[in-house]
Chain A
């Protein structure tokens, strides 16, 4: 039995996915990228191998992706996150038309063709506004665990609007909302809405197709998904583990011969 691997070393997490010859997911790992992106990629790969009880020699092909795709020693080839998220999302939802990937430091909207290939894309890589990093800083300001932000936001009863999408300004705005005695669920909701608003503009740039899929770590935040879905007027599908979709796409590309 030979396996194929995809390693996605992003700005915040290094993810690895192992698949078999028929593209079944065998194992995966999500680790923090930290300061040494090369090591993080290797660690994620090894962790996925261990979980599958496999050895590196069992792996017939490795493709890397993500911000540090060029620094993954194990990979025979590399592809951008754009192509890999498209491939990975297509695997789960073959009818996908538009993909929204919000990661740690950038957000991307990808328009795909009926065969899963990229038709167009738009990126926001200028600042942290509207990204996972933004959400982390705001969770910190609210003193709430990141994983709870979505749940908290969905408990909101009063709508507040945050005026800025800039991370620095929003953080001080959140602090002042707290001191005004505003409720954490309402503030969390405002933060998630700011992300949804910003991302919807990006999605509109490439065109919103009937089937919209959201990938990347921020897709785990149910409130962002719900608000974005309302804003776009479309149902948004989220794969079981959205954070590994880039690595999954890379693994599938490896299985198909690496290019």
Chain B
């Protein structure tokens, strides 16, 4: 059932190159996270999310300190070893200092054009509107320069509905996973979501529809399994899901920046693009990278865990991700105060030995089982 998704995730370059030829559109690499890919599609580009690879780091060491996160380091490595030749430009979102620096590095090191959606801290006052208006205008014209195609209100509307459909289908997959816990292996689930990073919307949407139709007919497997919720920025390395599968632990929901925090987003409203993008970025899920006092992560996570019927919450911490690290201790404490067991483990995308993580996950599961 999941083979088509595996085929994509384990043959990324081949798939992107083939799709690029079929579409006749320039490939634009999207950096984490929350860049409205609708804008790229509307400009006649083919957006792909290239982060989350597990390259061993070498060349990137010359540009990024060892205490930068492996998400940034590995994606830079990919460009430095010329592993992203099919990509013609990059779109950044300024959600953390590392990414802001990374964009500057790309500007200096590579001839490929880049655009950056810099997000203002204040979301309410008029200054934000004026600022964002100019940012979005420059993002759109930057994209148009790469693709040679103008963004129109028709192309925006069309792109918006294609992407909205993807997220809607992905949400259905999330709901099935929560309702029929144990039906979808954790590993299969994240391979399916990840395949969407690389495929054109129309292709991916069709694959999701086919999958959902099959899953709909299947009953929930019997047997008691442990239910947990994960929280983090990036859901790689996906090898770790095999550990959860082996231990009969079901991830019934997540709070990943490239998981539910993105999947939960509604359609990009294109009538007023400034308001549309603001609302897209900040809603509905809170994120450690977005300053949003009206959307507190503490009650949000507690509520999420309770609604999912989770027996515990695990934080999947990408080492050296500062925004995530700042939030984590208080979040863990809050969950514990609410009687929800919580713990964390840290990962690097380039890691190959998962024994220590296995012990942590295993011990956490033994702990919540009592």
Contacts and interface: CB of A to CB of B under 8 A. Distances in A.
B360 interface: yes
A118 B359 contact: no
B367 interface: yes
A82 B367 CA distance: 9
Interface string B327-363: 0000000001000010100000000000110011011
A119 B367 contact: yes
Given A120-B341, A123-B360, A67 B355 contact: yes
B355 A118 contact: no
A96 to B, nearest CB: 16
Contacts of A117: 367, 370
Contacts of A81: 359, 363
Contacts of A125: 356, 359-360
Contacts of A120: 336, 341, 343, 367
A80 interface: yes
Contacts of B343: 120-121
B61 interface: no
Contacts of B359: 67, 80-82, 123, 125
A101 to B, nearest CB: 12
Contacts of B363: 80-83, 118, 121, 123
A193 interface: no
A83 B362 CA distance: 10
A133 interface: no
Contacts of A80: 359, 362-363, 366
A219 to B, nearest CB: 20
Interface residues of A, number: 14
Contact of B366 (A67, A83, A106, A123): A83
Majority DSSP secondary structure for residues of B touching A: helix
A79 interface: yes
Interface in A122-151: 123, 125
A106 B356 CA distance: 10
A118 B360 contact: no
A106 B343 CA distance: 17
A145 to B, nearest CB: 30
B58 to A, nearest CB: 22
Nearest to A83: B366
B366 A118 contact: yes
A212 B366 CA distance: 22
Interface string B254-293: 0000000000000000000000000000000000000000
A122 to B, nearest CB: 8
Nearest to A78: B362
**Most chain A CB neighbours (cut-off 10 Å) among B336, B355, B360, B367:** B367
Contacts of A119: 367
A125 B343 CA distance: 14
Contacts of B366: 79-80, 82-83, 118
A121 B355 contact: no
A228 B272 CA distance: 62
A120 B343 CA distance: 8
Contacts of A67: 355, 359
Interface in B118-159: none
Interface in A51-89: 67, 79-83
A200 B26 CA distance: 56
A120 B366 CA distance: 11
Nearest to A70: B358
A193 B367 CA distance: 31
A113 B359 CA distance: 20
A7 B341 CA distance: 28
Contacts of A123: 356, 359-360, 363
Nearest to B356: A125
B188 to A, nearest CB: 23
Nearest to A82: B363
A119 B343 CA distance: 11
Interface in A83-103: 83
B361 to A, nearest CB: 9
Contacts of B367: 82-83, 117-121
| 4 A-B pairs closest in CB distance | A82-B363, A80-B363, A118-B367, A125-B356
22 contacts: A67-B355, A67-B359, A79-B366, A80-B366, A81-B359, A82-B359, A82-B366, A82-B367, A83-B363, A83-B367, A106-B356, A117-B367, A118-B366, A119-B367, A120-B336, A121-B363, A121-B367, A123-B356, A123-B359, A123-B363, A125-B356, A125-B360
Given A67-B359, A125-B360, 5 more contacts: A80-B362, A83-B366, A118-B366, A120-B341, A120-B343
